[in-house]
């Protein structure tokens, strides 16, 4: 059977099966040998005898088997026997056969090594001997393993490499054995084991072996050993073959160390003492220098691994984090916008890691190298990253509370906020995407807050400066939220008279507001600007700043006159102007007159008659301000209502001429309701006679043949009459006044 093991024809898998069967048989043989010794044969004899076997391979297997019994008997020192075996095994230089043979040797010798505390210590040797034995076996096995790479024709290289990988654990086992030895303490490891192993690893110059063995060392030996030998271990990395995936090796190591640090709080001081971070970061640099052909993605991945380590172990050392980013910046220097998508992905990973770890963009803003790394992202990816940053702020409710932070943040977001040189032109950008982005930036504005009024104003002016460089397309998204933030600030300051010397006051904010809204009207966004001017006007009125409020109203009117031509837009604009004016109490008589005159004038000039009518009767409210000190001019109210009535009449006649029937009477019913409103307020000019007259007019018109049936008007009129009835029945003062009004029910 042993001679079968001499074959060269089997693949490693098959050879392994054969080996296992043989192994089992050899165990039985071992028992036989043991029995033999009981029957009088000495181990030395047996040892001599088996060497007569014809071929070297079976001979050695037998020898090892006998040696197993021999060592156990302690008739000779373990160290001598082991030395003998490991030397003699050199006789088998065929890689596969040699590997399995030595593996057998390793297996049977495992429990017989003269380790500290083992029964074989002392006479049998010391742990040094055990280490020596294992190291030698390891070295020889590695040599055999590496030799496999070069056997056979080049075209079969892939198959050979696959076979090598199947055998790798045989080699790695030795390292396991070393790690299990009690006697291999930190000093032994540092002085003997690691240097020897690393020497073999580096010198074999074989990519597969180096990668596997480095990984093995890291996995097999304890973390505190790695910590204490960090420099040596890392020192080997630049010396490895360029094709070895050293970044994975180093990442493994860093991951282990970070897990180690996380496992107990006592570890951290060790890490600091040993200056793990410094060693790791300089190792990264050395590796990159040693491999000038390393692709960019490799270099960046190394930095990502180091950053992950730093964030896990030294999370509060922002300076370390910044250092890692800085090292990456140096590597990226001169490369401009990175085009390789894999490298870009790694850069994104590098940038996202601190965001996710700290969940606080403000902390990330303190990393001076962050923006420099971001510069190297191509346009699209940079924007994606910027969006990620904003989303992080929104999700974590982070406040950006100073103008410096705003500056730093907007620097990171600059591709979103303004057009840079490398950006594609406006035509190429998808409209919907653009809107979504800009709306996101708008939402961000609400996160720029500080309770201190001066700082808040600084924040607003800083943001305004940045947004101002964004070009016309962006302004209508970015400026409105700034304006409302400013209006909120005005409210905070209302009532506090800080005087003209203060750095921030309502007046100063209104100046800011004026310029900002003005920028919008030139975009052009006149309707939006009009609305915002009116908001500012009302706010100024609340602050009792008459000239400021007047100025805002003027601007609103100017926009109306010059920029708003669409009739529907005009109707809404008038509603807003009248509505705002109705609420402002700050104006003196002259100013108020000018503005109301303008309002009523424009109302009467709206295109469609019904719109005119409605706007004019809305104007009536301009002459009846409810709150103290407000104008209450019954004459002008009535004038408006009468004018509205005339317009309604005209509308009716027009409708009658053009369509052959009078138009809907809804306008009349609306005006009737307005009469009732003022009647109840007690305006003397709105008499019950007037109301009666209108009631009857409507009633007649509704029954006239010329009038088209309109359910809505009927219902409206009916509910109005119901309302009057209700008021009459209430039995209070109002009811008194209503008493003279007769409600005629339709037949």
Instruction: Note whether 742 and 721 are within 8 A (CB).
Output: no
> What is d(CA 450, CA 403) in angstroms, rounded to the nearest whole number?
10
Alpha helices in 660-743 (DSSP H): 666-681, 688-703, 711-729, 733-738
Q: Residue 602 CB, nearest distance to another protein (Å)? A: 15
Sequential DSSP letters for 684-706: TTS-HHHHHHHHHHHHHHHHSTT
Alpha-carbon distances, residue 83 vs 73, 90, 483 (angstroms)? 17, 12, 87
Q: Give me the helix-helix angle, 506-521 and 453-468, nearest 10°.
A: 20
Rounded to whole angstroms, the Cα distance separating 226 from 238 reads 17
Residue 487 as a binder of another protein (CB under 8 A): the answer is yes
- 600 near another protein, judged by CB under 8 A: no
Among 160, 531, 592, 609, binds another protein (CB under 8 A): 531
Size of the site for another protein (CB under 8 A): 50
Closer residue to another protein in complex, CB, 172/480: 480
Q: Where does residue 554 rank: exposed (0-12), middle (13-18), buried (19+ CB within 10 A)?
A: middle
Using the contact rule CB under 8 A, the part of the chain among 196-204, 248-256, 532-540, 642-650 near another protein is 532-540
User: Are the C-beta atoms of 124 and 78 separated by less than 8 Å?
Assistant: yes
Question: Binding residue for another protein (CB under 8 A) from 495, 605, 722, 740?
Answer: 722
Tell me whether residue 201 or residue 576 sits nearer to another protein (CB atom): 576
C-alpha to C-alpha distance for 503 and 450, rounded to whole angstroms = 15
Among 162, 335, 446, 605, binds another protein (CB under 8 A): 446
Cβ closest to another protein, residue 12 vs residue 480: 480
Output 79 or 621, the one with its CB closest to another protein.
621
Q: Does 121 bind another protein (CB under 8 A)?
A: no
635-674 positions binding another protein, by CB under 8 A? 666, 669-670, 673-674
Only segment of 224-232, 309-317, 545-553, 722-730 that touches another protein (CB under 8 A) = 722-730
CB 360 within 8 A of CB 318: no
Could you say which of 26, 78, 299, 618 contacts another protein (CB under 8 A)? 618
436 touches another protein (CB under 8 A): yes
491 contributes a contact to another protein by CB under 8 A: yes
Rule CB under 8 A: say whether 359 interacts with another protein. no
| From 374-382, 576-584, 642-650, 697-705, span contacting another protein (CB under 8 A) | 576-584
Closest to another protein by CB, 306 vs 599, is 599
- 283 sits near another protein (criterion: CB under 8 A): no
Residue 736, exposed/middle/buried by CB under 10 A (0-12, 13-18, 19+)? exposed
Answer for which of 179, 572, 656, 687 binds another protein (CB under 8 A) is 572
Regarding 480 and contact with another protein (CB under 8 A), the answer is yes
Q: Note whether 434 binds another protein by CB under 8 A.
A: no
Please identify, using beta-carbon distances, which residue of 63 and 576 lies nearer to another protein: 576
- Beta bridge partners, 122, equal 125
Note whether 206 and 141 are within 8 A (CB).
Answer: no
Considering beta carbons, is residue 315 or 712 the nearer one to another protein? 712
What CA–CA distance (Å, rounded) separates 34 from 42? 10
- Give least dist CB 666 to another protein, A: 7
Q: Which stretch binds another protein (CB under 8 A): 101-109, 209-217, 353-361, 714-722?
A: 714-722
- Separation CA 738–CA 338 (nearest Å): 82
Nearer to another protein, 575 or 692 (CB): 575
User: Could you tell me the smallest distance in angstroms from the CB atom of residue 652 to another protein?
Assistant: 18
Looking up tokens 């390393």 gives 294
Q: Does 231 bind another protein (CB under 8 A)?
A: no
User: What span, in angstroms and rounded, lies between the C-alpha atoms of 230 and 255?
Assistant: 14
Binding mask 537-556 for another protein (x = CB under 8 A): -xx--x--------------
554 to 226, 287, 496: CA distances (angstroms): 77, 70, 27
Q: Is 394 in the site for another protein (CB under 8 A)?
A: yes
Helices (H), 291-360: 296-313, 318-332, 341-358
Under rule CB under 8 A, residue 50 binds another protein: no
Least Å distance between CB 592 and another protein?
16
Among 122, 497, 723, 746, binds another protein (CB under 8 A): 723
In this chain, which of 444, 645, 651, 691 binds another protein, going by CB under 8 A?
A: 444
Q: Which is nearer to another protein, 117 or 731 (CB)?
A: 731
Q: Based on the shown chain and the rule CB under 8 A, indicate whether residue 715 belongs to the binding site for another protein.
A: yes
Distances from the Cα of 168 to the Cα of 128, 149, 251, 622, angstroms: 26, 12, 21, 93
Q: Is 576 in the site for another protein (CB under 8 A)?
A: yes
Using CA atoms, how far apart are residues 595 and 557, in angstroms rounded to an integer? 9
> Which of 179/727 has CB closer to another protein?
727
Q: Which residues neighbour 129 within 8 Å (Cβ) at sequence distance 6 or greater?
A: 78, 79, 82, 83, 114
Our CB check for another protein shows the closer of 458 and 721 to be: 721
Query: Does 23 interact with another protein (rule: CB under 8 A)?
Result: no
φ, ψ for residue 624 (rounded to 5)? -140, 85
| Region 684-713 residues binding another protein, contact defined as CB under 8 A | 712
Residue 299: C-alpha distances to residues 99, 276, 296, 342, 477 (Å): 36, 20, 5, 11, 40
| Residue pair 311/325 in contact by the 8 Å Cβ criterion | no
Could you give the angle at which helices 567-583 and 526-542 cross, rounded to 10 degrees? 10
- The answer to whether residues 613 and 647 touch, using CB atoms and an 8 Å cutoff, is yes
When asked if residue 608 is in the footprint of another protein (CB under 8 A), the reply is no
- Residue 611 in the binding site for another protein (CB under 8 A): no
Beta bridge partner(s), residue 125: 122
Q: Which two tokens stand for residue 637?
A: 């109210």
Which positions lie near another protein, rule CB under 8 A?
394, 435-436, 439-440, 442-447, 477, 480-481, 484, 487-488, 491, 531, 535, 538-539, 542, 572, 575-576, 578-580, 582-583, 618, 621, 626, 666, 669-670, 673-674, 677, 680, 712, 715-716, 719-720, 722-723, 726-727
């Amino acid at each position: 059977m042993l001679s079968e093991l001499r074959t060269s024809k089997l693949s490693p898998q098959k050879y392994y099966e054969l080996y296992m069967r043989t192994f089992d048989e050899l165990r039985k043989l071992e028992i036989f040998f043991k029995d033999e010794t009981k029957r009088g044969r000495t181990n030395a004899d047996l040892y001599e005898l088996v060497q007569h076997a014809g071929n070297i391979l079976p001979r050695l297997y037998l020898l090892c088997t006998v040696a197993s019994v021999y060592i156990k008997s302690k008739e000779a020192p373990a160290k001598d026997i082991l030395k003998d075996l490991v030397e003699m095994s050199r006789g088998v230089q065929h890689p596969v056969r040699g590997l399995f043979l030595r593996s057998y040797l390793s297996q049977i010798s495992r429990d017989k090594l003269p380790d500290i505390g083992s029964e074989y210590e002392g006479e049998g040797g010391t742990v040094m001997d055990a280490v020596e034995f294992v190291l030698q076996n390891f070295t020889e096995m590695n040599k055999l393993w590496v030799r496999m790479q070069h056997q056979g024709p080049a075209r079969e290289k892939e198959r050979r490499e696959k076979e090598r990988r199947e055998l790798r654990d045989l080699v790695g086992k030795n390292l396991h054995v070393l790690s299990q030895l009690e006697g291999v303490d930190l000093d032994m490891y540092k002085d003997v084991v690691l240097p020897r192993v690393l020497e073999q690893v580096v010198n074999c110059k074989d990519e597969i072996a180096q990668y596997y063995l480095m990984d093995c060392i890291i996995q097999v030996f304890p973390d505190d050993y790695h910590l204490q030998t960090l420099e040596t271990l890392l020192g080997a990395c630049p010396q490895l073959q360029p094709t070895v995936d050293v970044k994975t090796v180093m990442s493994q190591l860093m991951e282990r160390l970070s897990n180690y640090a996380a496992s107990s709080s006592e570890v951290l001081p060790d890490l600091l003492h040993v200056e793990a971070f410094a060693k790791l970061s300089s190792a990264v640099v050395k590796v990159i220098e040693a491999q000038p052909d390393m692709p960019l993605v490799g270099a960046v991945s190394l930095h990502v691994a180091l950053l992950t380590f730093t964030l896990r172990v030294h999370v509060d050392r922002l300076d370390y984090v910044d250092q890692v980013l800085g090292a990456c910046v140096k590597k990226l220097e001169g490369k401009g916008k990175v085009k390789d998508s894999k490298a870009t992905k790694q850069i994104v990973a590098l940038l996202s890691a601190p965001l996710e770890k700290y969940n606080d963009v403000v902390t990330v803003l303190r990393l001076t190298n962050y923006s420099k790394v971001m510069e190297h992202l191509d346009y699209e990816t940079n924007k994606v990253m910027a969006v990620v940053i904003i989303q992080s702020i929104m999700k974590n409710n982070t406040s950006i509370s100073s103008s410096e932070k705003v500056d730093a943040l907007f620097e990171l977001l600059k591709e979103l906020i303004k057009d840079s040189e490398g950006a594609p032109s406006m035509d190429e950008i998808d409209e919907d995407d653009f809107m979504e982005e800009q709306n996101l930036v708008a939402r961000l504005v609400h996160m720029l807050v500080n309770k201190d009024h001066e700082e808040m104003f600084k924040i607003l002016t800083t943001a305004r400066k940045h947004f101002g460089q964004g070009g016309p397309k962006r302004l209508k998204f970015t400026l409105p939220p700034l304006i409302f933030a400013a209006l909120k600030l005005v409210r905070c300051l209302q009532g506090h008279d800080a005087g003209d010397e203060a750095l921030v006051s309502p007046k100063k904010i209104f100046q800011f507001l004026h310029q900002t809204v003005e920028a919008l009207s030139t975009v052009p966004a006149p309707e939006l600007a009009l609305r915002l001017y009116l908001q500012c006007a009302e706010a100024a009125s609340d602050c009792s700043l008459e000239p400021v409020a007047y100025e805002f109203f003027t601007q609103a009117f100017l926009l109306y006159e010059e920029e708003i031509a669409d009739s529907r837009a005009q109707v809404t604009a008038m509603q807003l102007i009248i509505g705002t004016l109705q609420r402002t109490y700050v104006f003196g008589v002259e100013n108020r007159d000018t503005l109301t005159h303008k309002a009523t004038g424009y109302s009467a000039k709206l295109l469609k008659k019904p719109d005119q009518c409605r706007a004019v009767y809305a104007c009536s409210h301009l002459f009846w301000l409810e709150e103290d000190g407000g104008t209450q001019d019954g004459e002008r109210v009535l004038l408006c209502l009468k004018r509205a009535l005339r317009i309604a009449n005209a509308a009716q006649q027009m409708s009658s001429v053009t369509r052959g029937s009078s138009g809907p009477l809804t306008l009349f019913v609306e005006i009737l309701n307005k009469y009732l409103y003022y009647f109840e307020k007690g305006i003397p000019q709105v008499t019950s006679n007037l109301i009666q007259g209108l009631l009857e007019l409507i009633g007649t018109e509704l029954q006239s043949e010329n009038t088209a049936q309109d359910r809505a008007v009927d219902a409206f009129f009916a509910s109005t009459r119901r309302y009057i009835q209700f008021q009459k029945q209430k039995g209070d003062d109002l009811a008194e006044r209503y008493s003279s009004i007769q409600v005629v029910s339709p037949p």
